[in-house]
Structure 1
């Protein structure tokens, strides 16, 4: 153990002066750590030999924890004091030399006759002092206090080193986590090797809503790895159910530990930490000992940190998977739209589904089972299955879905199955408008993730739509084809679909305020849904007005065209799309100087009369009180203006204020004059600008 020798030397000097004794300090093996000039010890033995004497004393003395007297020569005594740390002797203090009153003269006489240590005999009166039993006891107390001071220093140094080690370990773990060099298995090994009291540790991952499987276990891999338990079952299952960390002690007779006992492990104490992700438990970090009935706080503290690091790894894996999933979904989205806009034949549809499915996840096989037009037979194409297994599987599907009419699927939900040879598979119906075209069959190594299943369901829906369009290629118009493809967007990208559908609703309502023959509502609507796609795909829909709007919008995004130069269709597209992005606050309405002012005023008027209630976001009272133009309004005019901002028309205002419609009209005329505006949309716009 490394120590602060300078501190030890300083303390030694203080207590040398305090006790009047010569002091040196040695380690457990008798190696001298400190120095003492002109010590009595050197008169007794040389420096090298005194070290040997210390070693001999330490080896021959029984274990002790209090200061002892020891005769280093007959009648010449030292005080031998242990320095204790964590109930173990780490160092020794040697303090001497002296004779016990009144033996000094008799000791000298004996040594003169029997000792050859001439230096000692010559300086005996000078260095060997005589102390009473009371004085010796006092010196023992001083040396015991010295040992306590050094013990506290050792403890502080030990804690400091431990903190440094832990900080270094934590920093190292964070570094490894940042560089993706650390796995859950690595964390378990680190914890296990640094805690000898622990006999086993493991990590269980959730494999279903109610079941967990032990993925990692050290060192008893052969006992626990791969074993499963249910939420609420036994010690681990209880933690999974309650989602709270737990430490179990005195488990020898506890029936809840039967899960471990039946696998040859007999724990006395167990800890278990849930790993929570998005308010749901995804795993359990656990460990235990067969040696003691309870675990120390230090072990639990380290276990808690390990659980936190496991959560970091799981979260990182989750977000990596989410990023991959989003990337895959974007790829699938573009590939599907590219494919749907260039349909060829049923066979090309089969091969598209097959190629996309096999590349989505690590799956043992993918099969596409298509029903013929009369639903009398099944044709299968497959990747990953032998011809023999394809024949077996085709026969199985035929028996289940064709020969037995009662077993025909009444749902579009995926169907989990086992093949004839015992392999897990999930069968996803390929359906469009209640017409069953076949099944997308995905072989499984493990339970399928929700994200992966969603991608396969998207593909199956795309396949159903593609087959429907191919069957009706001569009867479907271009607009119907685009509408069908847009319907698919609800499954491919639901967030974009919801946003585009909301924009479409606003456009349908806002159109009533425009009355402009140049507006192409269908082109703007299609642009809302296709706004995130590549221009090459948009060109394939063969709807020129939409292509023109989309291309113009892209020019604005690339700063190749100013918004003020854009067509009315694109300005409406930008206005509504920006409103949806910016709400509930819509500062762009007053700040945007590029969009046609009349268009903005009409949009504000529409908002004021719609359920969106623009007035909720305006500080109307403040505007009416502080702006001189509004101060000129009478109390009645102010009341009418507030109702205008709530979207009320003249008759509704009249009914609420118990006045005639003609009176309301006169008040509105005076309001326009005082505010220097032409209509109510300009009034709303002016108040909005003042309220920002």
Structure 2
């Protein structure tokens, strides 16, 4: 076997030098699988370009020219030619590329084209002088030579095929056991792509009591089967669900049992189906076969091995996910409890409950419906997928938990969609009590249909709601002193003489409560800023007279000076609270970031943070009366620049989406990066935060923010 490798390499070297061509061997996707042989100067030069390199063009060619059956001369660039030859051996197809060559008549045009496309490369004329000229005689000679290489490659591949099979099994097993987070479709794609023994493969899993669905399919012709449903006993696949035996069928194109496949414009000629039991006790089916061949041979043993690998992969993934979820949930409860031993902050606890429940249940949304202790109005704080039915659903929660005269149960319940709510997902509803007082309802949407997973989620949320209720009560007891009540009374009075200013003050105070998370202010300074937003419409002298021991008057006075026509102070001469107040009130009034940018010739750090805050807003907070819904306001997504940990801007974006409950695939789609890149970012973030999972990351961000604010 080693001797054949050396012979193949030697012939490639000798032949490529003889014909002044370079030979590149690739897979069907255009990825090189052997070292490049030969020293065709035009080929070498184009291989090393940063854009439109030769390899990139080769990959594009294979996507466009899918039906290459025999060696041919192909015009890979205008006026530039290569020989493409498919080599199929041992069930695997490769491509040999031999080139590059040009035609004498178009040499000057090729030179102009290359100079335009690659202006940084000098000496194109010399390169083309050394490039072989394509003639009819040369074409015949090169095609004959490439055919000999194909025969040699096939012989070499046949000898290696048995060894390769064992290597494939080993690689797949390593993927299955080491990458527990490998998605099912990705694993199926790896299985199907390793060898071309079959035209199609698929996996069917249980959906309902007597209904199964095809959840993964590989093979272009079989894509129409994805999500197709069948019943126990229906067709070939349904029969295996009854017998529980490994089955295979040949010459089935005219078999009536093929009707299930024919409905989806799919016509298999031979089919195998191997059942196996999943971790939750349900049966799954691994199937595949041929479209053009009516019979099987040795490849059935390969399929049986793949079924075992797939079964073990699903089992490993299920166990790993189960252990990870248990660990994350326990960690989350520990972190929430830690908040109780520090000074609890009401809003922060609400956001933690919403974020952690969304992240760990991995549902479409999470929200908290609660009554504001100061105003008595109902509020909705939510994250995730929002649609027009969110308000309808929140009103339904209010009616059932707050307006119903019957005693509310403390148990967590699963609420399914109804005609009244028109919400497409089941929702786990968790009332938060302290003694007999209802403090709020945590509502978490779920995509899970498995009863075992629902039970686990409900147990976790039951515990979380008990801890959350106690923590919220502690926060309420510590929030809001005499001054705050007086501020609220003055703010309410604004609504009588200036309704527009009253609305703007409310919007500003909500925005201030969230934006200050970026500034590292202490909780007391945050409250001063919120109070300043509420009382901005009053004269500072009047505020000072009514609340003499408060900083609110000074904050309002400096903010008014900053945005006045004849400002007497500089931005860096006043407090962060005054700067924030000036920026927030201006934005609320004009809804225009350009006005804020024009305050100074160079945007200050606080302005830059505010602009980023507006762009990144994700969390939604609404005030909901029991009669109608009030206007919405954006709340900052939970993103925190932790400078001492050197988290990059991109890692901050990823961390923010992790906290919002998105998985790696969803983060990749949001940021237009690959899942592999997301995984690398997440790993580095966990290392910098010194945490092991997402739950710890969420809690760590809140904890660090809390510690920073209280160190000032």
TM-score (norm 2): 0.37
Q: Work out which structure has the larger RCO, using CA pairs closer than 8 Å and 6 or more positions apart in sequence.
A: 2
TM-score (norm 1): 0.38
Greater Rg by CA? 1
